[in-house]
Amino acid sequence: MAENTEKNKTVGIKVIGVGKYVPELIATNEDFTKIVETSDEWITQRTGIKTRHITNGEPTYHLGAMAAKNAIENAGIKAEDIDLIIASTVTADFYTPSAACLIQREIGAIGCMAFDINAACAGFAYAVDMAKRYLQSDDGIKTALVVAAEELSKFTDYTDRSSCVLFGDAAGAFVLTKEEDVPYASFLGADGNGANKVVSRALKVENPFRTSTEEFDMNMPETKAHYFYQDGKEVYKFAIKAMPNAISEACKKAGIEPSELDAIVPHQANVRIIETAAKNLGLPMDKFIVYIDRYGNTSSASIPTAFCDAVEDGKIKRGDKVCVVGFGGGLTYGAVIFEY
């Protein structure tokens, strides 16, 4: 397969810096037994989660800015060197300004292009691939900052025992440059037919000129205000197929087999999903980077946060072929393969 890998070396990315940030406040499984009927054993067996970090009032953009500062320091560059900021989030603090513009302000990278994307839990994979395409455009963009910042505590219903134990808050960031003749491949997609499986509502149409009482809900579920809703069984069925398929398809594009990957960093939603995906791919679990026990599900922030921990713990090293893969609301899915 080495020959195929050489053939598929092309314009790719170089990750020159990584960073993460999580709030100091930690909620343990035991803490949840005080607000809902549950137990540490029940949560651990079904999800693999032991603790999660929860904001104590810090806004989403603050988490993102702190992760970005850490990534910039790790890269050994200045904020003024950044030409592009892409922020992935489903929990932005404002409809406008974007989280990316607020992060830009906080880190002092004024003047560069900055915008948000929302691809839910696959958002980081989408954002990395988007950044790569800007970097290879030769349009003056030489350094990109990709930030995933999420505060799922904003839309968590803490009276719902089945879902409130799942979510945490975190942010992670990559600093990227273009690299010639390195492995790179991506496989991204979405299935809008599953849009009603993972839902958090925004504002409804209300104005003084409205006369229609018809609700155009596109078969969306009734939800409690803006609180998060998911059809757990359907999401599980989607995830255990979408994740291994995205990895396999990205590997085909890269000209390698999944077994040739040194590490796979999946969205950290549920350890059972990751275990099933590994089994479906015929891969050992030690190929997969899993830190869900520390952070819970932090949507698009889960991949860069886990990646940072894996680098710190020596599970991902320079020269490794890595696949980051996400799946989530939309329904979205995506995998990106690169050399760290």
Domain ranges for the chain: 2-182, 186-339
| pLDDT at position 261 | 97
Among the residue ranges 83-92, 95-104, 114-123, 206-215, the one predicted with the least confidence is 206-215
CATH superfamily, domain at 186-339: Thiolase/Chalcone synthase (3.40.47.10)
Which of 121, 251, 308, 323 is the catalytic position?
Answer: 121
Task: Return the pLDDT at 206.
Answer: 83
Q: Is the peptide bond before 23 cis (omega within 30 degrees of 0)?
A: no
pLDDT tens sequence across 236-273: 999 999 999 999 999 999 999 999 999 999 999 999 99
Catalytic option among 101, 112, 297, 308: 297
Task: Specify the pLDDT at position 8.
Answer: 54
Looking at residue 4, its pLDDT comes to 40
> So what CATH class is 2-182?
alpha beta
Tokens of 326: 């996400």
Helices (H), 201-231: none
Answer for the pair 135, 83: CB distance below 8 angstroms, yes or no: no
Torsion of CA 306, 312, 318, 321, to 10 degrees: -20
Which of 67, 123, 131, 55 lies closest to 93 in space, CA to CA?
Answer: 55
8 tagged catalytic: no
- Tell me if 165 sits within 8 A of 29, measured CB to CB: yes
Q: Tens digits of per-residue pLDDT, 198-246?
A: 888 887 888 889 888 887 777 877 777 788 888 888 999 999 999 999 9
Say whether 251 is catalytic: no
Q: What is the pLDDT of residues 265-296, one digit of tens each?
A: 999 999 999 999 999 999 999 999 999 999 99
Question: What Cα–Cα distance (Å) separates residue 94 from each residue in 56, 60, 97, 188, 226?
Answer: 18, 10, 6, 27, 14
Q: Per-residue pLDDT tens for 172-192?
A: 999 999 999 999 999 999 999
Handedness of CA 130, 132, 138, 144 (dihedral sign): positive
User: Catalytic residue among 101, 267, 308, 323, which?
Assistant: 267
The encoded tokens of residue 124 equal 């980081």
70 is catalytic: no
